[in-house]
Amino acid sequence: MSASLNYKSFSKEQQTMDNLEKQLICPICLEMFTKPVVILPCQHNLCRKCASDIFQASNPYLPTRGGTTVASGGRFRCPSCRHEVVLDRHGIYGLQRNLLVENIIDIYKQESTRPEKKSDQPMCEEHEDERINIYCLNCEVPTCSLCKVFGAHKDCQVAPLTHVFQRQKSELSDGIAVLVGSNDRVQGVISQLESTCKTIETGFENSPLQRQAAASGSGNGADSEPARHVFSFSWLNSLNE
């Protein structure tokens, strides 16, 4: 239940950040406002550079210097509501900066760079607000600090959950390495046995005893199979000698 509440809280925070980001998008460049941000008489905001671009596009015959209009006065329309903005002798630089929006942008960027909260953080069933952060060595179960102090594990030995995790992970890795090594050795022994059996079978089939057994077996019919086993054991005994 606590994990579900944490997930809902995380989703709500993420939705709030997404809604805030939408309010910080410039309608011209479609990016987050670039400081300085200017506020128009209609209360809409623009990047100063975007406002300058709109002004130049609306007044193409005004003199410019370095891409910026240097003439005083002029007018253009707000791209959001089409309200006519009349500039004074300072031109675009006469528009008031929206310091509040600039501060909100700074805060938003700081929050966006923080590590995301994990919604799957395990919580104690007995103490819903406590994270599971220790491991009971006696009961071999993870638990929380309050369970150690006041709860069912107050008389047990505990260790930090991260330490136990690393130790068990190391032990498991070592066990896997041993199993892999043992498997390689077993496969090697099996290959040697198969090769030895193949060599024995090939040598027996080409031995004089086998040829003699085959010749006698063709004449005796039903007695050929027992004779084959007799000669097989005789040939193996000769190899051992």
Q: Percentage helix, strand, coil, to 5, in the chain?
A: 55, 10, 30
Contacts of 77 (CB under 8 A, 6+ apart): 54, 58, 83, 84, 85
Q: What is the pLDDT of residue 99?
A: 92
CA distances from 216 to 196, 211, 221, 232 (A): 28, 9, 9, 14
Does the structure show a pLDDT above 70 at 5? Answer: no
Q: Are 106 and 62 in contact (CB under 8 A)?
A: no
Q: What is the pLDDT of residue 75?
A: 85
Confidence at 7, pLDDT banded by 50, 70, 90? very low
First to last CA, the chain: 77
Tell me which amino acid residue 103 is: N
Each residue's pLDDT tens digit, 85-136: 888 888 888 899 999 999 998 988 888 776 655 546 677 877 877 888 888 8
| Average pLDDT over all residues of the chain | 77
Given the DSSP bridges, would you call strands 141-143 and 134-136 parallel, antiparallel or unpaired? antiparallel
Confidence at 15, pLDDT banded by 50, 70, 90? confident
3 vs 38, which has greater pLDDT? 38
Q: What is the pLDDT of residue 3?
A: 42
Q: What is the pLDDT of residue 107?
A: 87
**What's the average model confidence in pLDDT over 176-205?**
84
pTM metric for this prediction: 0.41
43 vs 228, which has greater pLDDT? 43
Does the structure show a pLDDT above 90 at 62? Answer: no
**What's the average model confidence in pLDDT over 178-200?**
86
Give the whole-number percent of the chain exceeding pLDDT 70: 71
